[in-house]
Structure 1
């Protein structure tokens, strides 16, 4: 097996266990009922958040074993529930207080899980307990940190208004993007003022994650206001092919060159060029969600999931062999890889929602963990706070000199603050919407 294949499989195995942690958190109330929000938060933090931290740090080399163990535990829980269902008449009054199979349940779970993993990784990468192979690849390849921006674009695309058949005026996109641009500028100013190290090979000298999100949103909105959403996949395909063609012709060598950055364009070449790929990814994600929303039966939905997963996997394999996969370029292979991982995770959450609806109505199951609902309610704020805390930690201590135990303690406290703030805002019904 090639190194790229091994890295891709390992990255996938690092992400998948988070699904099982979420399932365990939603299943546990069936066996140990509890109603206190504080207890609920504590249990979910222990079951979901801490294992994710451990999974990308001290347990990184045994992710396959962890997946097997957690699968075995969940199989036991599910088997007990199925046996109970077979020998116990279905209650006329379900104990589940929310509708089970609406779009929000599994979409909320996958969006918040993406955000949670990303937030853990952006600080964990600064410590020695975070394996260097999980850091962003300098040119091509697969790594955990390479997933972040791509999965975030996917998470935004699947909940776009157009995915529900609604038109979003360009003015709305511009207004919300102004907030992102301001955040991007503030991040640039703060990193320069504090001499906080940011690799130029990520987005460029002045460009950053927030600028990419803003540009992606504006360009996608322009395309969606010109073309019918029913055929937006054609635009996504044409844009991806054109982008890959230009990369192979000259853009790839320009991006990877070590020539001096002499002007504003060359200074931010990674951010500018990769934005085209992220627009394609956004359009693909939106069209996938739009197609899923149109499906009326579970059979057709599952069929759609299967088709997208197989196609994205095959394209990833082909591009890995032919063009390589690069987050820095946001090329065709990267787009397909992100779609494969994101849609696979979405399918898992959808299947679990379907199983709960069809088989476990006698049980007091949560539709979504409280922490994930809280994160989804203020997703960008959650991510912003994580960035601020990451900066403060790096300015306060020399992270590469911190012991493994202290690193874990810092990461747990960091996530406790993040998740705690999100939960307080959610409980108080405060939604600070910037997007």
Structure 2
């Protein structure tokens, strides 16, 4: 081949690669942005629910529940169904409404002296407020999605990706691991004995086995590409908790980020060497390990994610000033975003593998949401002391109090709905009604337990 032809061939190859890269990155970027835009509005719904009492005071728990269900839960259902294609517009509208509310409160604050006696009955800024809000919001979105995905009203692009990519349903397990990591005892500088982790993990394993038995007995369809044949979400949580506890009992929490980094690098290296091709292969599952290869391999990634989440929370708790806390948030968000972009180009992002890109993506979304809730709590403390603002919506406090029970009930109800009706034949209106009733039962039960001071804790 002549030098000229060789140069033409090289240029053609480069142009072809650049064209492919632009298409690939553009598609992934659009999916990632859309997923983020589906999650962010939930923050504004929560803020609206905590702001409304300043203008329309109410004290009844029943009325409180009703208003919050209408303001928080129903909009989340609509967001992932009938309003799925206009999430950007929804975000703009709700932002405009909130801006108006906040502006009115700021004006009132400027022209009204600070009251010596405020109606707020508990401190506005502590770890529990914004952490409770973000954990419960994560749980709420996940629970809505696990039933909504079975209806035609739920866009197929939001379903779990078979191999790589970004979607709403891919967030669930990762965000749940993050939500558990940020409230781990070690995040507050306390040691949690391995025996405690084993006890709670046994409960999770039993739940996982019961789920396996019930799905097999009822011939309930479960995709093998999620966790494998016998593995499931609850077993992943149990394994993550046990392995993380072992690591935390060996190494100092101050340096646990080093363990998380090394584990992530080792996991990604093995994935690129041979594990990725093994996981994505269509070879027959001949033994217990190959039957559950997705669950086994991805658990390593979830342990890394748990350790990163725990260390982030530990670092945040050590910060004494709001400036330092905001600086920490910013550093984590930028770093996780850059790593997500790099991994999307180099390795791709895969929930099925729980690879480096997936870990970074989950951290970006989760920490961004946590920062938003933290900023709102800070604003309430510094600017709105004259107003009767809720620290946390009643529904979110109830969900946080019995988070795993809330999720378990959702799984049971999802199974019952799918066994009772053919979901893909249900009309859009009836689908919405079913989803609203389903969430009403879930949130109602959580609220009754919370009001009765009943806390069924397994984690």
The answer to whether TM tops 0.5 is yes
Alpha-carbon distance, 1:239 to partner? 0.1
- The 5-angstrom pairing of residues 255-270 of structure 1 reads 255-270=279-294
User: Which secondary structure does the structure 2 equivalent of 1:356 belong to?
Assistant: helix
Q: Deviations over 1:156-196 (max 9, x none)?
A: 00000000000000000000000000000000000000000
CA distance in 2, matches of 1:330, 1:95: 46
C-alpha displacement at 1:120, in angstroms? 0.1
CA distance in 2, matches of 1:296, 1:94: 25
CA distance in 2, matches of 1:221, 1:275: 14
1:28 alignment counterpart: 52
Hey, what's the Cα distance between the residues in 2 that align with 1:200 and 1:94? 55
Question: Aligned-pair distance for 1:98?
Answer: 1.1
For 2:353, the equivalent position in structure 1 comes to 329
Q: Deviations over 1:296-331 (max 9, x none)?
A: 000000000000000000000000000000000000
The worse-fitting range, judged by mean Cα deviation, of 91-100 and 334-343 is 91-100
CA shift digits 1:39-90 (9 cap, x unpaired)? 0000000000000000000000000000000000000000000000000000
1:221 pairs with 245, 250, 253, which one? 245
Distance (Å, rounded) in 2 between the aligned partners of 1:134 and 1:316: 19
Matched, 1:53 2:51: no
2:106 and 2:136 map into 1 onto residues whose CA distance is 28
CA separation in 1, counterparts of 2:115 and 2:179? 36
Query: Once superposed, which parts of structure 1, at least 4 consecutive aligned residues long, lie more than 3 Å away?
Result: none
* Partner residue, 2:200: 176
Q: Distance in 2 between matches of 1:423 and 1:298?
A: 32
Cα distance, 1:153 vs structure 2: 0.1
CA-to-partner distance for each residue in 1:263-296, whole Å, 9 max, x for gaps? 0000000000000000000000000000000000
Offset at 1:336? 0.1
Cα displacement (A) at 1:125: 0.1
Shift, 1:94, TM fit: 1.9
CA separation in 2, counterparts of 1:318 and 1:270? 24
Are 2:435 and 1:432 aligned? no
* C-alpha distance in 1 between matches for 2:353 and 2:390: 40
SS at 1:38 equivalent: helix
Q: Deviations over 1:217-245 (max 9, x none)?
A: 00000000000000000000000000000
Distance 1:373 1:56 in 2: 23
Classify the secondary structure of the residue corresponding to 1:96: coil
Distance 1:109 1:353 in 2: 10
In 1, the alpha carbon distance for the partners of 2:309 and 2:457 equals 21
Structure 1 counterpart SS, 2:353: coil
Provide the rounded CA distance (Å) in 1 between the counterparts of 2:341 and 2:114: 46
Provide the C-alpha distance between the structure 2 equivalents of 1:3 and 1:180, rounded to a whole number of angstroms. 37
Determine the C-alpha separation between the residues in 2 that align with 1:95 and 1:13: 34
Structure 1 CA distance for aligned equivalents of residues 194 and 56 of structure 2: 49
Q: How does 1:244-393 map to 2 (within 5 A)?
A: 244-393=268-417
* Cα separation, 2, equivalents of 1:345 and 1:9: 14
Offset, 1:387: 0.1
CA-to-aligned-CA distance 1:186-220 (integer Å, 9 cap, x gap)? 00000000000000000000000000000000000
* Partner Cα distance (1:127, 1:407) in 2: 7
Structure 2 stretches of 5 or more lacking a match? 1-24
Distance, in Å, in 2 between the alignment partners of 1:316 and 1:97 is 42
> 1:135 offset after TM fit, Å?
0.1
Supply the distance in 2 between the matched residues of 1:284 and 1:152 (Cα, whole angstroms): 13
Deviation, 1:93, is 1.5
Q: Return the offset for 1:381.
A: 0.1
1:94 and 1:307 map into 2 onto residues whose CA distance is 35
Selected match of 1:232 from 228, 233, 256 = 256
CA distance in 2, matches of 1:98, 1:196: 46
- Deviation readout 1:95-149 (Å, 9 max, x if unpaired): 2111111100000000000000000000000000000000000000000000000
Deviation at 1:426, TM superposition (A): 0.2
Count of residue correspondences: 435
1:255 to partner: Cα distance: 0.1
- Between the aligned partners of 1:277 and 1:227, the Cα distance in structure 2 is 18
- Measured against aligned partners, the alpha-carbon deviations of 1:390-413 in whole angstroms (never above 9, x if no partner) come to 000000000000000000000000
Using the alignment, how far apart are the partners of 1:97 and 1:332 within structure 2? 43
Q: TM-score, normalised by structure 2?
A: 0.95
CA-based RMSD of the aligned residues comes to 0.4
SS in 1 for 2:147: helix
SS in 2 for 1:2: helix
Q: C-alpha distance in 1, partners of 2:125/2:70?
A: 26
Instruction: Report the more deviating stretch, 88-97 or 256-265.
Output: 88-97
